[in-house]
Homo-oligomer: A and B are copies of this chain.
Amino acid sequence: MSERGWTLGTEQLTDLARGAALLGTGGGGDPYIGRLMVEAAIAEYGPITVISPDELADDEFVISTAMMGAPSVMVEKIPKGDEAVRALRALERHLGRSADATIPMECGGINSMIPLVVAAVTGLPVVDADGMGRAFPELQMETFGVYGIPASPMVVAGDHDEWVLIDCGADNSRVEWLARGACIRMGGAALIAEYPMTGADVKRTAIPGTLSLGVELGAAIRQARAGHRDPVAALRERLGGSIYRQLRVLHEGKVTDVERRVVDGFTRGTVRITGFNKPGDAARAGDLVISFQNENVIALREGQLLAVVPDLICVLEADSAEPITSETLRYGQRVRVIGISTPDLMRTPEALAVFGPRCFGLDRDFTPLEQLHPTAD
C-alpha cells in the first residue's frame, strides 16, 4: 500500500474532543478521558494516520472499535488502557484475519477517541468515517447494520483481562442485548471490537468524513471564540457545506431541573430548560424538555416538537458554545440548544426502522428538523 491519508497529532485532539462532544448530542461519553488516552498513546507510539473511505481497497479488512456503557459510568470508570486492542486482537484471532484499519463506531463523544488509541498502539490507520454520524445508545443503531453488515462476531473486553465474544448471526439487536449484559457485569463500561467488514462495506455503509468534521467543528468554535464571533454562527457556516447541512437554534435558557439515573446500563433522564424570555422572542419563552437515553432523543417545548432522533439535539453553554453532555448537565447552567439535521443516509426508511423515534419508545414518526423549522433562525 502506498502512502495515504493524513497525520493526526496531539495538537488536533482538543478540537476533536470539542467537536465530538457536539456530535455526541449529549451522549457518547465525555471525550476528555479519551483525549488523555490518545495523547499518551501518541507520546508512546507516534502519530496516527487517518485515511478516507475512498483510500481503502475494497478487499481490505476493517474492524470497528469503541467503548460502550452508560456515559455516567464511562466518565468515572477509567479504562485500564489495553482493553480495546485486546478486543480487536481477540476478534482477529477468532476470524483468522488481521485488520488493515480500524473505524469509529460513532463519531460522537469518547468514541471519537478510542479508535485513535487503537490506531496509535497497533499502527493501523483509522478511517475518517463512522457508523452513527453522531452518537447512539445501542450497538444495532449503526448504518453498518442498517445496510446489511452483521455486528457480530464481536468482542467485549473488560479491565480484568477478561473478554467475551458474541455471535448472533445477523441479529444485531440480540448482539446489543447480550453485549449490554456483559458490559453491565464488567462494571457498566467496557471496550468493544465489532462490525468486521471489508473496505467495500465501509464505502457503502459508513457516514464519511466525520472524524475530520469533528476536528473542524471543534476548531470552528475555538476560532470564533478567539475572534469574538458567535460560535454557533461559525458552526452553521461549517455545517452548511457538509452532509449535515442544516442547523437551527431551538431554545435559549437556564437549566432548571435535571432528572438522571443509570438504568439497565444506560443513562436515562430529562432536562428542563426554562427560556430566557427575551423581549420579542415569545417562541423561546417556555420550558424546553429534552429526554435522553445516553444521547438526547427528543426536544419538546410546551408539548411542541422541536427536534427528534436521528436529528442531533445539542445543548451548548450559552456564550462559549461548549457542548454539555447529558451526565454533566446541572441546575443553573445557561445554555443554547441547537438542532442539526442528519445526513440523508441516516433518514432512509431502513435507517429510521433502526434508529428512528419508535426505536426509542416514542409513539411518533420522524420529522426532519428543516420541516419543523423551515427558515433558518
Contact = CB atoms under 8 A, between A and B. Distances in A.
Interface of A: 90, 94, 160-169, 171, 174, 177-178, 180-182, 184-186
Given A181-B181, A184-B181, A185-B181, A163 B167 contact: yes
In the A-B complex, the 6 residue pairs with the closest CB atoms: A165-B165, A181-B185, A162-B168, A181-B181, A164-B166, A163-B167
Contacts of A94: 94, 165
Given A182-B181, A185-B177, A164 B162 contact: no
Given A160-B171, A178-B182, A181-B182, 17 more contacts: A94-B94, A94-B165, A160-B174, A162-B166, A162-B168, A162-B171, A163-B167, A164-B165, A164-B178, A164-B182, A165-B165, A165-B167, A177-B185, A178-B186, A181-B181, A181-B185, A182-B182
Number of copies: 2
Contact of A161 (B163, B169, B177, B186): B169
Contacts of A160: 168, 171, 174
A151 to B, nearest CB: 12
Contacts of A177: 185
A182 B177 CA distance: 9
Interface centre among A90, A169, A177, A181 (most CB of B within 10 A): A181
A169 B90 CA distance: 13
A154 to B, nearest CB: 10
A94 B184 CA distance: 25
A163 to B, nearest CB: 5
Contact of A174 (B162, B165, B167): B162
Contacts of A178: 162, 164, 182, 185-186
Contacts of A181: 181-182, 184-185
A93 B314 CA distance: 46
Contacts of A180: 185
Contact of A167 (B90, B167, B168): B90
